[in-house]
Amino acid sequence: MHKQPPMGTVVLLRFPFTDLSGAKRRPAVVVGHAHGGDLVVACVSSKYETCGPYDVITKQEESSFAQTGLHATSVICVDKLATLQPTIATGKLGVVSSKHFIEIKKKLKMLFRL
Q: Where are the domains of the chain?
A: 9-111
Query: In DSSP terms, which residues pair with 30 in a beta bridge?
Result: 41
Between 97 and 1, the more confident residue is: 97
Query: What pTM was estimated for this model as a whole?
Result: 0.92
**16 pLDDT tier (thresholds 50, 70, 90):** confident
Model confidence over 31-67: pLDDT tens digits? 999 988 899 999 999 987 777 899 999 999 999 999 9
What percent of the chain has pLDDT above 90? 75
- The answer to whether the Cα torsion of 86, 88, 94, 95 is positive or negative is negative
9-111 — its CATH code? 2.30.30.110
Is 23 a residue whose pLDDT tops 90? no
- The answer to whether 13 and 89 have CB atoms below 8 angstroms apart is yes
pLDDT score recorded for residue 1: 52
